[in-house]
Amino acid sequence: MKDLEPILLPGIEAKRPLIIAGPCSAETEEQVMRTAKELASQGIKIFRAGIWKPRTKPGGFEGVGVEGLTWLKRVKEETEMYISTEVATERHVFEALKHGIDMLWIGARTAANPFAVQEIADALKGVDIPVLIKNPVNPDLELWIGAVERIYNAGIHKLGVIHRGFSTYDKQIYRNQPQWHIPIELRRRMPNLPIYCDPSHMGGKRELIAPLSQQAMDLGYDGLIVETHCEPDCAWSDKNQQITPDVLNYILHMLVIRDTTQTTENLAELRSQIDILDNQLLELLSKRMRISREIGQYKKEHSMPVLQATRYDEILSKRISQAMELGMDGEFMKLVLQAIHEESVRQQIEIINK
């Protein structure tokens, strides 16, 4: 994917962060126009609104459909903002293009389905429009890259991705787990592909928008897509995570944007300290595995099962609270422990089957 083009639309400064803002859903013409005008007066240049809403369960608000596209057209004419919406089918693409939508995005549920992504890709052949692809709901980097490649192969070279987090069974702090290592690996593999963060769907709560946006900026993300509504408490969808244009403006002004092109020499010393610590971590892990294998041997000799759920639960909850006391995210610690436990079980099973 060497010939990726900048996603920038004419008149938009090539400066981090690029901001896309607007309501989760277009609800009424009045709500769309009011939100758009307030955003435009804050200097926002790209408006978002969902027209077709993929809801987890039937009965939720499923979007106003084609009628809403005429409201977006009005936004474009009256505020000069660019307009963007989510597409999930060939028909959505045709309708969006017909109504002069400037940028499209593919939602997380759609990105997880190669048939749907291919259908959208086929509908976009020969069209020159920027497309942003959200991470699939499940934490599968290859599936995400596959979706990007499908759209790229259709000839769309103004491409970007949106990191909105990954769904999990047990919702804790975040509505969707960030799992930052996944987009970081994506950046390593596709350094030219712009990455935007969607702190609204990731956090699921208003108060998480600022810290998640800052974290995205610190990781060198190119921009943010933030759900913004003129009256968030009355929103027909995702109301807990929507903020007013005023609050958005405040959050954006508080963001600290650090230069990503700084020389790496200043960092050399800190990086060497990281290398040393990583080596120590590896040694410790290998020691831990050695002990775990000894336990495996003991279990084998005493015909005990490998997995002892209560012991595992105890370790999990103790270590997670210790980690949190040390200023680390509990979810992060849980992932680390799960990975260590998995490898430990694998090694014990090896011993038992010997």
Q: Which residues form the interface with ligand PEP (CB under 6 A)? A: 24, 50, 54, 86, 107-109, 134, 164, 198, 201
Backbone angles phi, psi at 33, to 5 degrees: -65, -40
Rounded Cα distance between 84 and 226, Å, is 13
List Cβ neighbours of 42 (8 Å cut-off, separation of 6 or more): 245, 246, 248, 249
- Nearer to ligand PEP (CB atom), residue 133 or residue 217: 133
Residue type, 96: A
Helices 114-123 and 141-153 cross at an angle (nearest 10°) of 20
Selected binder of Mn ion within 95, 198, 238, 331 (CB under 5 A)? 238
Task: Write the DSSP symbol of residue 243.
Answer: B
- Nearer to ligand PEP (CB atom), residue 99 or residue 134: 134
* Closest distance to Mn ion from the beta carbon of 242 (Å): 8
- Nearer to Mn ion (CB atom), residue 124 or residue 162: 162
Q: Sort 71 into a burial class: Cβ within 10 Å, 0-12 / 13-18 / 19+.
A: buried
Q: What beta strand segments (E) does 101-246 contain? A: 103-106, 131-134, 159-163, 195-197, 223-227
- Within 42-101, which residues bind Mn ion (CB under 5 A)? none
* Closest distance to ligand PEP from the beta carbon of 24 (Å): 5
* Closest distance to ligand PEP from the beta carbon of 211 (Å): 19
Q: What share of the chain is helix, strand, coil (3-state, %, to 5)?
A: 50, 10, 35
* Closest distance to ligand PEP from the beta carbon of 156 (Å): 19
- Within 108-167, which residues bind Mn ion (CB under 5 A)? none
Give the residue at shortest CB distance from ligand PEP: 107
197 binds, among ligand PEP, Mn ion, none (CB under 5 to 8 A by kind): none
The binding site for Mn ion (CB under 5 A) comprises 24, 238
